[in-house]
Each structure stands twice: as structure tokens, then as C-alpha cells.
Amino acid sequence: MTHARPRRHRDLQNADYAEWRQFLRTTDTWSRTDIERYQLEAIQRLVARASTQTTGYRSLFDNAGVGPGDIATLADVRRLPYVTKEMLRDALAAYTATTEGCDYVTTGGSTGIPFGMYRTPQAFARELASKAHQYERRGWQEGDPQLVLRGLPIDTPDHTALVDDLNELRCSSYHLVPDAMDGYVAVARAYEPLWLRCYPSAGCLFARHVLETGQSIPSLRGILCASENLLPEQESLLRAAFGVPVFSHYGHYELAALAGFCEHTSRYHVLPQYGYVELIGTDGLPVTTPGGVGEIVATSFLMDATLFIRYRTRDLAVYAADHCEACHRPHQLWERVEGRLQEFVLSATGRLISMTAMNMHTPVFDPLRQFQFYQASPGEVEFRYVPRAEGVAAPALDAMRTALGHKLGADIRLSFRQVDDLPPTVRGKRRFLIQDLPIETLHGSASGHLHG
């Protein structure tokens, strides 16, 4: 099957997209000095705008005794107070410069703090262009045929749909059952996608099926993951199933920080044209030691309706360096994204345990098709599981109980519950942990457990 490229890819028809895409290309070789000049000017403009056009930021700045004239260097940014999800949720208008011509969009899935924000169409176009810019490092181009395994449910008979002007074959991540997945492989082999774009969780369910049934999609050149933290085990599984490199990035709805792999490495390069990103440790200072964990605090250069200035994302990353040895970009580099605060469970004694660490390197979970952790009260965790068709024997469950108990520790009471299905979220994501407790802060006492 051949792929006549559409005359213009849908995104390239958008002038904001095309312009930002070109800007990122021409500034990709910026030196550290170029980057710092650009970022400082962007922050100065943003702080001036926030203090004249929003009541929320103006009073925050007044209370902190800081104003637009005080930001003379990037180090001065630390004089600005943080803004949190709760502050935006409770007084959105106060942190919004304009609502005219904006879309009102909502987020909150993974943090448990749902809130809405105003976003201009231009900001969203720049977001798409920024992601495309990162994908291009792996050879992706607009118009390349791609298999997409994410997003909203698809209610056609085979749960697939073609989107011609994006060159996408979409497969529903809500129907990752063997029969439907066999259908996806067959349709994909005929479509000959160059790329698989997926949530890691959905991609891995698909990958495991492909491996177990000895199928393949030989046209694939790479896998582009998004929207969820890619765990090392997931990267290995995807690579084993499809035999191609895996790309991932960190991003979020608030469009304040974006960080992707480069041509050569699986480390996260913070995109400096997108936002100003700080990694703040438990001592309130920027993390500058390789291996150190900090909360991602981000100032968005894209969001010009609801403003995000020193926004606490509650996501944690592990610092690696201030540049990449492999591609030589002078970008802040993260070893990995450690998880979101909401991806931790809280023990009876107040320990935070990273669920990233719970992803076990053992075949102990093989008898299960899916599983998920659920927490509603401190010190108590429910393990919900869907067995494979052949069922799961009691000794296998005992082995899981032992392995999990060992990892979680004595101050967690673990209960098991068999379920028929673990439905994805409204956006089709598969969640590893449903955390119904608000995990408020990264306690200093818990930081020692971050590496699991």
C-alpha cells in the first residue's frame, strides 16, 4: 500500500503551528547565552503582564514584595512566589489575563485536583509544533503514516478509524482485548505505519499481545510515547515487541514544561523556548546534583490567557546535567521523571512510596492481564487485578502478596480484589494507581524512599 501524502498536513495549514515549528528549527542550535537572554526577556514581559492584567499575580507579587522591575537576572526568578493547582482552581479568573477567543479546557486526571484554564488557539498550536519538533529528532515528519493507540474511544465495528489529513490509523485504547488487537495488527500491516504513537500503558498491553502471538508490524521505524511516565520496563517491552527505538517526553496540559528525548539518548531535554523550568528540591533550592530529585516548577511561555508563573506541577524529576553530552544542546537534562506526587502511596507512618518502584522486575504478575493499586486512606492499599482467561491460582496470588508486601513494607496493609475490568480514564489512559488521598507535599522525610 502506498501513502499519497496529503497536499498539506492539517497542522501545517495552521499558520501559528508552522511559524513556531520554524522558530524552533532556527533556534535549535542556540548557545546557553542565547537561551538565557531569550528566557529572561520572556519572563520580564510575562511578569509585567501578570502584574498589570491579573489581580491574582499582582497581589501575590505585592505580598512577596517583588515586582516586574526586580527581575534583572534568571536567578531573580526565585524571588517570585509559587502558584499551585489549588490557587488556580479556586480563583481562575484572578490568574487569567484574557478569556477572549480562548478555549476553556480542563485537566486534573492524574493529580486528583481537577481544574480548568483558558488557552488561546495559538498556545495550543505552539504546543503541537513543540512536540513535533521533538519527534523530528527521531526522523518523524508531518505526513508520515502512523498508528495511534490513545485518546477517545472509537465506536466503529473494529474500533479503528482513519484520519486522512493527519495520516493516522487510530485504534481505540479502550478495546485492548485479544480479538480487537488481532484486528489492529491486521489493519496496521496493510496500512504500513512508520510510527506507533501511544500511551505507554496502552502500548504495552498491545506489545505484550504482539509478542505472545508472534505477530509483527514490520513497517515501523519507531515508537513515540506520550502523556504518561515511560518506565524502563515499558521501554524494554515495547522495544522487544516491535524491534524499534522508543521516544518519550514529559509534558502536561498546563503547557508550562516540555522535555523530550534527543536523537541519541533516553534522557529528558527541557525545551527552553517553551517555558522556564526549575527543579526544586525539598530545601527549596534548585537541584544541581546529578541524581537529585526535585519538583518540576515551571513558567509557561506558551500560555498567554491563564498564566503559569512558577507553577508547582507536583511532578518529580531526577536531575542529570545542564547539557547533553550526546547532542550538545545546552538544555537542562533529566535522568528520568520519577513520578507524580499523586503516584505515591502514603504509609501508616507517613512514608511516601513511589509506585514507579512497584513495577517489579519479576514474572510474578504474569498470570494477570491488568492490575492497579487503589488508596483511599493512609496505610491501606487495595490491589485490583484482572486475571488472564485461564484464571489465576492461589499460590500465584500468594507470591504476589509476598512480593508486594516486601516492597511496600510493614506499615501498609494490602488487600487483594479481583475485578472484571479496569476501565481507562475518560481520555483512555490506563492508570497504575488511583490515589484518592490528596498527597500534598514532598516530605523531606520521604525523599529517601524516592528511589524505591
The residues of the shown chain that bind Zn ion, judged by CB under 5 A, are 262, 324, 326-327
Least CB distance to Zn ion at residue 230 (A): 16
Beta carbon nearer to Zn ion, 261 or 301: 261
CA–CA dist 297, 303 (Å, integer): 15
Choice between 88 and 246, CB closer to Zn ion: 246
Nearer to Zn ion, 124 or 268 (CB): 268
At its nearest, how many Å lie between Zn ion and the CB of residue 31?
A: 15
Taking the least distance from each CB to Zn ion, the nearer of 134 and 299 is 134
Shortest distance in whole angstroms from residue 335 CB to Zn ion: 13
Minimum distance of Zn ion from residue 220's CB (angstroms): 23
In the complex, the smallest distance separating the C-beta of residue 328 from Zn ion, rounded to whole angstroms, is 7
Residue 331 CB, shortest distance to Zn ion, in Å, is: 8
Residue with smaller CB distance to Zn ion, 17 or 319: 319
Query: Which C-beta is closer to Zn ion: that of 88 or that of 324?
Result: 324
